[in-house]
Structure formats: structure tokens, C-alpha cells
Amino acid sequence: MSLDAEPDEVDAIVEAWHRERPDVDVAPMQVLSRVSRLARHVDRVRKEAFSAHGLESWEFDVLAALRRSGEPYVLSPGRLVAETLVTSGTMTNRVDRLTTRGLVERQPDPADRRGVLVRLTAAGREQVDGALAELMRSEAGILADLSPTDADTLASALRTLTRPFRTPS
């Protein structure tokens, strides 16, 4: 533990394991238990930010993928599947529900008469933009105790840790 860090719950857990199982190296808990606890807090903050704008997390994911695609905010269902890491059946259900809410619309694919494209509506853009702004305020609050340098260092370390789990593009 660094000299400026105040002990937390994970320190107590690691200390107890050292006492009870000195034969097991529990050093990975120092990092991964904190990541796990932080993930739970981040999930809660995200749900609150999305809920404040009338969205579920999955709705934000689909709308955000469309919004990030740039004008005219249109993607194929297959591209949405790749962006959100869900099955095509799940995506069909999600697009149906978002269409009912007026947040997206289906349109014919001009390059494939049998295909469809999904387009973000003005209402969908307004909701996803508001939710994103709220989310960034909330997430900035989570990171407020880190210096910009520490945040960059942490982002780099996490990028390295997640490398084996990346989905091929």
C-alpha cells in the first residue's frame, strides 16, 4: 500500500487471507477486487445517468452506437450487433422496442433491396446526447481524485489488462 493511501475494505480482505492462507499469493486481489468493486459503482452511476434521461443501459448502447457513427446516424443491424456485442435476435428485439418509442427507425438499404438500415431519429439523438452529458459528469466525479496524469496511467494499465479480452474488429 502506498504511503498516502488510506486502508480500505480490500486491504482488510487481503490481510485476512494472508493470515488464514499464508501459502496463497493473494496479491492479485489488491487490483482485481478493487476493479470489481469499482465496476459495481460505475454500473450504478451509469444506470442513474441513463434513467434520468428515460433510457435503460441497453437502449443507450444502441443509440450511442448510432450516434457515434456520425451523420446520417445509420448502421446496419449487423454493425449494431458488432458494436454492442449482442446476438442478432437480441438486436432485432432491441430495434423493435426503440422503434416503438420513436428513437430509431428502420429504412430500406439502398445497396441491398432485401436489407434494412437502422437510423437514429431526432428524438433518439436528443435522448442519447442528454444521457451522454449526464454520464460524463457522473464519471468525471468518480475520477475527480485522480490527477490527469494518474488517470492516463490508469487508462493505459487497464488497456493492457483488457488486451486478451478484446473482440476482433
pLDDT confidence band for 4 (50 / 70 / 90)? low
Q: Are residues 67 and 39 in the same domain?
A: no
| 69-86 burial code (b ≥16 CB/10 A, e <16) | beeebbbebebbbbbeeb
Task: Look up cell 439502398; give the residue.
Answer: 110
Q: Are residues 27 and 61 in the same domain?
A: no
Provide the domain limits for residue 83: 57-148
Cα gap 22→14, rounded to integer Å = 10
Assign residue 120 the CATH number of its domain. Answer: 1.10.10.10
Calculate the average pLDDT of the chain: 94
- Residue 169 in any domain: the answer is no
This prediction has a pTM of 0.84
Q: What is the pLDDT of residue 108?
A: 94
Residue 127: exposed, middle, or buried by beta-carbon count in 10 A (0-12, 13-18, 19+)?
buried
Q: Are residues 141 and 61 in the same domain?
A: yes
Cα gap 56→131, rounded to integer Å = 10
The tens digit of pLDDT for each residue in 55-88 reads: 999 999 999 999 999 999 999 999 999 999 899 9
- Residue 99 in any domain: the answer is yes
Mean per-residue pLDDT, 117-135: 97
- Residue 165 in any domain: the answer is no
Q: Are residues 14 and 62 in the same domain?
A: no
The tens digit of pLDDT for each residue in 26-38 reads: 999 999 999 999 9
